[in-house]
Each structure stands twice: as structure tokens, then as C-alpha cells.
Amino acid sequence: MYYYVDFENVACAGLKGIANLKNSDIVTIYYSNNPNMDIETVKLLLNCKAKIQFEKLADEIKSMNTKNALDIVILNDISRIIADKSKEMFIVISNDTGYDTMIQKFCQDNKKIARASCISKAPSSVGNSSAVTVTKNKIDNSALIDEQAIIKLFSGDLKEFFPYRHVIVDVVKKSKTRCEINNSLNKQFGQKSSKLMKGLKPYIKNIKGS
């Protein structure tokens, strides 16, 4: 099982239950500033059977002043590998409901993913998660967009969004309408979403407006 810990949001409380994890579990702890971690939590990490990784928010991403930068980085990292690990379970450890829109989109694509406030409360399966309501109708706009052309944008006009390209493409592919794309990007990027939508406009014109 893969655990993605938004340490800025849950702090040490989010790691409750980490002592019960197995050798096959992987825990990645995301932070942007110097994490305030007590000695007892450090001991738990040292004695934990799971593989522990730390990911600090890069300075170039901090400089974008995006409100939900850490959220986007976590979702982007999940987007990069979830397609190739369909049998694995992914858990976002956070109290932030801002993750739930993308989590639901992953669930619509039959991925095993949920959100929990701490490791001990993580569901053993998606069906046990109260954080996400799974919609049966799968959305996939792959036939309506030129995915490779969109990805190339992140090397050109939208290069400042390059670190987030995977999650942005997933939003485009899994949203019902252009309005939904705009709303999802606005939640993550705030005012910067208008620049994103302007760049994406020629490539999402075949998706319904609303």
C-alpha cells in the first residue's frame, strides 16, 4: 500500500498507526518547511517496517505562490504511477477535502485510492472509505483531446506548470465538461488557472462546455 502524507496538514498526528505497517508498504512524507517532528515520532519512523521517504517542496514550486502547491505535488506524484499499479491501494493522509475531487476522478477510472486523516484510519479497500463517493460512470476524454500536444505545452507556453503536468492532464481526461475542468484547476491553482485554461483552450474544444 502507498501512503502519501501531507505533513503540513496533519503533522505527527497523521502518522498514527505507522508502527503497524508491513515491509511492502511505502510511506512518503511531504513537507515544505522545517517539519516539527517530536522524538517519539522519529523513533516510530526508525522502527517502522515500511519504507519511509521524505519529499520537500522544491523552491521553484514554492516561488509560484500557489495556495495548494503541496496538494498538487502529491496528486501529480500519484498520477505518474497509479496507471501502472492498478492492483495497489493509494492513501492520501490529510484532512484537506480539496483532494477529494481528484480522488473521485481516479475512482471513476477504477483506481484504488482514498483519503484518511491518519494511517490508522486508512481503509483496507475503497469501498470502506467515507471520504469519497465513487461514481459508476467512468469519464475518459482521451478520444476528444490530443494528449501529446497538451503535454508539449508544458515545455513551452505553460512551462511554469511543468511539475504539475500529470495531474493537469488527468483533470482534462476525467472531467465531464470544460466548466468542470476550469473549476478543478481553479481549486488547485487559484488565479493561475486562467492562464492554464487559456493555453488549454484549443486542445479541449471538443469537450462539452457545461
Q: Identify the residue whose cell numbers are 481526461.
A: 173
16-20, 58-62, 71-75, 78-82 — which is least confidently predicted?
58-62
Distance CA 31, CA 155 (A): 26
In the chain, where does DSSP find H-type helix?
7-10, 39-47, 59-62, 69-82, 100-108, 147-153, 165-174, 178-189, 193-200
> 10 versus 70: which is more confidently predicted?
10
Closest to 11 measured CA to CA, from 44, 34, 35: 35
pLDDT digits (tens, 9 = 90+) for 94-114: 998 888 888 888 887 788 899
Q: Return the C-alpha cell found at 54.
A: 521524505
How far apart, in Å, are the Cα atoms of 141 and each of 40, 106, 206?
Answer: 47, 14, 9
Tell me what pLDDT residue 179 has: 92
* Number of helices (H), then strands (E), in the chain: 9, 5
Q: Identify the residue whose cell numbers are 493522509.
A: 93
First-last CA distance in the chain: 37
pTM: 0.68
Distance CA 50, CA 103 (A): 23
Tell me what pLDDT residue 82 has: 87
Tell me what pLDDT residue 123 has: 86
